[in-house]
Structure 1
Amino acid sequence: MQFDKLFSNTEIKGKTMKNRYVVAPMTRISAEADGRANKTMEKYYERYAKGGFSTIISEGIYIDQSYSQGYKNQPGLATDAQKEAWKSVVESSQKQGAHFIAQLMHAGGQSQYNAFTDETIAPSDIPPKGEQLGFYGGSGPFQKPKAMTDEDIHQVKEAFVQSAERAKDAGFDGVEIHGANGYLLDQFLTDYLNNREDQYGGSVVNRLRLILEIIEDVRNAVGQDFIVGIRISQIKVADPEHKWAGGEEEAAQIFSALGEASLDYIHVTDGDGAAPSFGENSRTLAKAAKDFGKLPVIANGKLTDPEKAEKVLAENEADLISLGTGALANPDMPNKVQQGKEIEEFDFQNTLLPQAEVKEHEIEKELVK
């Protein structure tokens, strides 16, 4: 196959993506203990840029020194020192021709480590389903979070704004607001995690309110020339089978509202990005985002096979394809596909995995393989 769609140009906010391949955000837990990015991270991201990816979205970055951190050794954009540490990481990938977007994340009730507090916060005092992730250093059930006050909500909004401003100062090409996978903003959107009786709870419109307010606040802070996107999902880290109760009708409400906001793209992730997301013969999540949101869409979920990815693009289900485990196994995926080389299968045991206890030189040795 020629993969004409995969290797065609597209544009977002005046930035030309040389192909449709995007590195998906993946938790790496390899930052310094104080949240500063480091040389290991620089090499990790740079290899994707060298491998031909047009765009890189960072791992989830915590946004304040309060409740947002979710993992030990997670990087932050909560301080000027953290901002400065990101500069060389961003620059090294951009020099290789890749755009770099910072994913801004608040873990909320799904946090399993926070250097600044032993508490977690969430829209309501309901813990996430399931248990913490052992390979990210957690164990046991999630703790019961504190229901957020109006003051907490205001603080979170300010933290997203300030971290977005730091991302711009650090040289990133844009920010992605993390509204997926069971983290704080998705908790507001999720019916069984949000039993608030104020303007942020109840109807879909109300449960979306905080997300929409943060989008507008961030846009006002960073200006019109900076990319602002969002990541949305039905599935969660702690509840991978979750579906929106209202199915496609609820998806229409969500994506229509996001499409009317000051966003430049919508990034969706699903168990299979090419499969119906709301039952038999329904739309994929990406197609729902395109049809109702009418913005550029990044699709994610088991799209490593380039023929499958090409089909998603050719059928106008999405505009770009993001790879997670496929990129881990093939950091030079775009170059491999263009050169007709074999695609490696992701092997959980043998592919570089996030391990906070792995020494930096051991990671670096793996990165240059």
Structure 2
Amino acid sequence: MALNPDVLFEPGFIGKHKLKNRYIVGPMTRVSSEEDGTPNERVHQYYKRFALGGFSAVITEGIYTDEKYSQAYEYQAGLATDKHREAWKPIVSDVQKHGALFIAQLMHGGAQSQGNYYEDKNIAPSSFQPPRDMVPVYGGSGAFPVAEELSKQGIKNVKQGFVQAAVYAKEAGFDGVELHGANGYLLDEFLSESINKREDEYGGTLENRLRLLTELIQEVRDAVGKDMIVGIRISQLKATNPDYQWPGGEKDAETIFTTLGKTDVDYIHISDMDAVSPGFGDGTMTMSQAAKSFSKKTVIACGSLSDPNQAASVLENGEADFAAIARQALANPDTPNRVRKGMSLDEFDKELIMLPKAYVKDAELAKELVTE
């Protein structure tokens, strides 16, 4: 591979934290923890190998936040109990020991929950049924149930869950937390006019639909302090509606990212199918470019950036500050070390790697990683 993507290996900052390069592992659903959400040795080795492979930071899979309605998948990892927190501690320590920052993505499944250890019903901003069936590869089948509308007290409970999970993350030693406001899960459901039909201060105008996100950012920041990273992930696409786009296009993007830019988040992480394609129709900005332009925050781009030249171009063009890769990181947990040494990258094989527990069979892979 005749490459010299130097920009990918420049150090950078998120908040007060220095990252050794611009490669970040994006969050990926793994469903490989214990039934009660406790991360185990499989989870430990899974994350450790990304740190060994040269990534500057690793963002976890979506971690559920409470013992009520937040869990989205069976065997999903949690940060909802003291037991969860204690189980994360050695994993966090090991990832950091091998040179990577570790960020916990905090997630509430909302209407897209398809497996919950604690509750049998789903909740959403308004009564809503996702338009597609559950995802078989993550243990679901058939249609989603109709989610019940959250009460005002329910909204407070959701926020309390996120805040407590963020505190647990800090106590476990994580460098930061990322609020999952993308892909059709609960926070994104509040943002979506097609799902959020509320008539109170959390519904109606786009500004009102942003209210839960901005309140939650502030409450999490107040709970964890100024030194811990607080980020948010944003998308247009949803897991059960991948073609969805904001109805106002760039105008909506301007409102959303300008509003987030006024909050205390350290970064905005964009989830997109293709980070280099126009985000709102022909001739428009990319999602990352819009986030950077309107928010003035640090931006992480994610979406089809497995080609190092493409990832470097996003950074060189000033559209983002960091490049997150997901599926390519599953195929090559040592992507940064390989790229830096001019080595080839293995192609992503979804038949093998997208099986949630397939990497368990590759336990010996860590011995074959290209390390620094």
Question: Aligned equivalents of 1:297 and 1:341: distance in 2?
Answer: 27
The structural deviation recorded for 1:350 is 2.4
* 1:40 and 1:363 in contact (8 A); partners too: no
Q: Distance in 1 between matches of 2:239 and 2:362?
A: 25
1:305 is aligned, of 304, 307, 310, to: 307
- Residue 58 of structure 2 aligns with which residue? 56
Map 1:247-266 onto structure 2 (within 5 A): 247-266=249-268
Equivalent-residue separation in structure 2 for 1:359 and 1:265 (angstroms): 30
Work out whether residues 72 and 114 of structure 1, in 8 Å CA contact, stay in contact via their aligned partners in 2: yes
For 2:169, give the aligned amino acid. A
Distance 2:139 2:367 in 1: 25
Name the residue aligned to 2:70.
68
Task: Check whether the contact 1:128–1:193 (CA below 8 A) recurs between aligned residues.
Answer: no
CA apart distance, 1:367: 5.5
Distance in 1, matches of 2:189 and 2:367, equals 38
Runs of 4+ in 1 over 2 A off after TM superposition: 350-353, 362-369
Q: Secondary structure at the match of 1:58?
A: strand
Counterpart selection for 1:164 from 166, 171, 182: 166
CA deviation profile, 1:183-213 (whole Å, cap 9, x unmatched):
0000000111111000011110000000110
- Tell me the equivalent position of 2:212: 210
| Partner amino acid, structure 2, of 1:262 | D
Which one of the candidate residues 196, 199, 205 is aligned to 1:197? 199
> Which residues in structure 2 correspond to 1:1-150 (within 5 Å)?
1-150=3-152
Q: 1:339 to 1:217 in 2, by over 3 A?
A: same
Distance 1:352 1:286 in 2: 26
CA distance in 1, matches of 2:198, 2:353: 42
In structure 2, C-alpha distance between the alignment counterparts of 1:173 and 1:221, rounded to whole Å: 14
1:286-340 deviation line (CA, Å, top 9, x unaligned) = 0000000100000000000000011110000100000010100110000000111
Letter in 2 for 1:81: K
CA distance in 2, matches of 1:334, 1:26: 18
Distance, in Å, in 2 between the alignment partners of 1:353 and 1:305 is 23
Contact 2:126–2:148 (8 Å) recurs in 1: yes
| Residues 176 and 228, structure 2, Cα contact 8 Å, conserved in 1 | yes
DSSP 3-state at the match of 1:221: helix
Structure 2 CA distance for aligned equivalents of residues 91 and 81 of structure 1: 16
Contact 1:259/1:295 (CA < 8 Å) preserved in 2? yes
Contact 1:35 1:74 in 2 (8 A): yes
Q: CA deviation at 1:142?
A: 1.1
Residue type of the alignment partner of 1:142 = F
CA distance in 2, matches of 1:350, 1:149: 42
TM-score normalised to the size of structure 1?
0.97
**Letter matched to residue 253 of structure 2:** A
- Paired residue secondary structure (2:259): helix
* Counterpart Cα distance in 1 of 2:365 and 2:342: 24
Pairing partner for 2:293 from 282, 291, 294: 291
Q: Secondary structure at the match of 1:5?
A: helix
2:232 to 217, 230, 255: 230
Q: How many residues align?
A: 366
Q: Alpha-carbon deviation of 1:366? A: 5.6
Give me the whole-angstrom Cα distance separating, in 1, the residues matched to 2:192 and 2:366. 38
CA distance in structure 1 between the aligned counterparts of 2:209 and 2:365, rounded to whole angstroms = 43
Q: Deviations over 1:2-56 (max 9, x none)?
A: 2121010101122111100000000000001111111111110010000000000
Structure 2 unmatched runs, 5+: none
Cα offset, 1:365, TM superposition: 4.4
What one-letter code is carried by the residue in structure 2 that aligns with 1:331?
P
Question: 2:46 touches 2:359 (CA, 8 Å); kept in 1?
Answer: no
Please say if residues 51 and 335 of structure 1, whose CA atoms lie closer than 8 Å, have aligned partners that are also in contact.
yes
Can you list the C-alpha shifts for 1:90-134, whole angstroms capped at 9, x where unaligned? 111100000000000000000000011110000000111211101
1:196-246 Cα offsets, whole Å, 9 max, x none, are: 000011110000000110000000000111100000000011111110000
